[in-house]
């Protein structure tokens, strides 16, 4: 067991070394008709990658020497792919969210002329609004091959989750086991409210879905073994060991040896450690890979990953990491947040997740208007960021990144409410969706 805890203990950092990382996914469609982006062809992921390699110094990554390109890297940043050709930019971790935003803006600027040349447009949405799972192609990545076969057996919307959804994720540091589990616990409790605040995916299959966050809906109907709000972590003084015990009993996807994949979806990692698989014995690298195949709303690895928000337009994209930084990196705000959510029970919060996905902040939650809970969470984050006091070149602290979010909550709206006001048809034209959601 001690060997399995090394990753977490090695990741512990003193406060002076805490950073914030941001990962954001985007969907590209053909501007003329909304056709989805494929992996290969004249207008494709491969065409985008080729230009980034040739013109902007990105380095290709392949799973095998002669295999297809599945990612790009440049210094500490990466461009990776989700199963349905969603493109993800993962930036380096920075001390300030201002610096992370500056890096992200520069990298997306690299991509913009490439997108324009190919006649594509980004959609600032948490879900592909037009194409079905069957219409979308799959990225040729080993892990995705097994996920394509296995995940739909574990949840009715697993295919939608994998191929159609886009998120923005914030990655934060921790100082100790106590600090990590405390931030995990409070993050899991408040995550459904954060999901409602950032709900930004009201369309699916060309229709209004009836949900402010169709992305959040898909996560309620996929593999329950590896997703959700982790009820074991809601109690005080949970531990790394409890997280490891949970992870050990989640079925695996695959084992890689010599750039070859061995699929073993019927085996838990605990069984793999004890018995091996087809003569292969478990090693530390297998454990690290396995942890990355777990998808709870807050994930513990060498950082804490806050994963439950729809991706946003540029004017609100960095509200998500700023929100979590203000809540978790300031002691007063963290204590106050714990006090705010301490009485919330797992069964009650779990029961209301669908309602929050459907209505965003315009619903009741825990016998109170959800927008009022959201407003208190936002106020705590703003107070924390003011006390931290990290400024940009204009002398603004990081609360400036929360202004758009505040303006929405003041009128009891989430981003999807704005989209639905602008395009109110039950089956809107692709042109109309691209007009309001295109970047």
Do 18 and 12 touch, CB atoms closer than 8 A? no
Q: What is the phi/psi pair of residue 32, to 5°?
A: -70, -35
Helix, strand, or coil here: 36? Answer: strand
Q: Is residue 263 part of a domain?
A: no
Q: Is residue 286 part of a domain?
A: no
d(CA 45, CA 37): 7
Which residues, including other chains, have CB under 8 Å from residue 150's CB and lie 6 or more apart?
Answer: 253, 265
Tell me what pLDDT residue 91 has. 86
Report the alpha-carbon angle 337-342-345, nearest 5.
130
Span 359-374, pLDDT tens digits: 999 999 999 999 999 9
Dihedral angle over CA of 73, 77, 81, 86, nearest 10: -140
Instruction: State the DSSP code for 153.
Output: G
Give the structural domain span for 129: 2-250+294-437
Among 290, 304, 283, residue whose Cα is nearest residue 246: 290
DSSP assignment string, 309-330: EE---HHHHTHHHHHHHHHHSS
Number of domains in the chain: 1
Q: Is residue 261 part of a domain?
A: no
CB burial of residue 259 (10 Å; 0-12, 13-18, 19+): exposed
Span 77-123, pLDDT tens digits: 899 999 999 999 998 999 999 999 999 999 888 889 999 999 999 99
Do 252 and 263 touch, CB atoms closer than 8 A? no
Q: How many other C-beta atoms can be found within 10 angstroms of the C-beta atom of residue 238?
A: 19
Span 214-246, pLDDT tens digits: 999 999 999 999 999 999 999 988 999 999 999
Q: Is residue 119 part of a domain?
A: yes
Query: Domain of 80: which CATH number?
Result: 3.30.590.20
Q: Is residue 264 part of a domain?
A: no
User: How large is the average pLDDT for residues 165-183?
Assistant: 98
Q: Is residue 147 part of a domain?
A: yes
Q: Is residue 283 part of a domain?
A: no
Q: Is residue 190 part of a domain?
A: yes
């Amino acid at each position: 067991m001690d060997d399995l805890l090394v990753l977490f203990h090695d990741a512990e950092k003193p406060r002076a070394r805490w950073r914030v990382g941001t990962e954001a996914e985007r969907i590209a469609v053909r501007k003329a008709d909304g056709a989805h982006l494929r992996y290969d062809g004249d207008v494709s992921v491969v065409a985008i990658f080729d230009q980034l390699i040739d013109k902007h110094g990105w380095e290709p990554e392949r799973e095998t020497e002669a295999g297809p390109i599945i990612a790009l890297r440049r210094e500490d940043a990466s461009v990776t792919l989700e199963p349905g050709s969603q493109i993800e930019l993962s930036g380096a971790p920075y001390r300030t969210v201002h610096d992370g935003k500056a890096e992200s803006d520069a990298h997306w600027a690299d991509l913009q002329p490439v997108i324009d040349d190919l006649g594509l447009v980004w959609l600032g949405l948490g879900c592909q609004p037009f194409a079905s799972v069957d219409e979308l192609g799959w990225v040729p990545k080993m892990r995705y091959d097994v996920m394509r076969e296995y995940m739909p057996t574990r949840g009715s919307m697993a295919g939608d989750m994998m191929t159609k959804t886009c998120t923005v994720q914030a990655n934060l540091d921790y100082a100790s086991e106590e600090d990590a589990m405390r931030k995990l616990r409070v993050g899991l409790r408040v995550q459904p409210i954060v999901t409602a605040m950032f709900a930004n995916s009201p369309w699916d299959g060309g229709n209004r879905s009836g949900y402010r966050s169709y992305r959040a809906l898909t996560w309620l109907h996929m593999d329950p073994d590896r997703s959700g709000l982790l009820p074991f972590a809601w109690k005080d003084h949970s531990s790394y060991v409890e997280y490891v015990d949970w992870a050990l009993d989640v079925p695996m996807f695959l084992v890689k040896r010599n750039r070859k994949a061995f699929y073993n979806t019927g085996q838990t990692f605990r069984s793999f450690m004890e018995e091996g698989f087809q003569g292969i014995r478990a090693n530390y690298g297998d454990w690290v890979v396995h942890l990355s195949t777990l998808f709870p709303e807050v994930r513990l690895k060498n950082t804490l990953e806050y994963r439950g928000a729809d991706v946003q337009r540029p004017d609100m994209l960095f509200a998500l990491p700023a929100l979590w930084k203000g809540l978790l990196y300031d002691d007063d705000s963290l204590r106050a947040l714990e006090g705010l959510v301490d009485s919330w029970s797992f069964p009650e919060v779990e029961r209301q997740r669908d309602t929050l996905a459907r209505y965003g902040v315009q619903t009741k939650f825990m016998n109170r208007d959800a927008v009022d809970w959201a407003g208190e969470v936002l106020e705590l984050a703003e107070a924390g960021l003011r006390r931290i006091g990290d400024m940009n070149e204009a002398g603004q602290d990081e609360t400036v990144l929360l202004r758009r979010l505040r303006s929405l909550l003041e009128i009891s709206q989430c981003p999807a409410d704005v989209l639905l006001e602008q395009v109110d048809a039950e089956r809107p034209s692709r042109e109309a969706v691209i007009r309001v959601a295109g970047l």
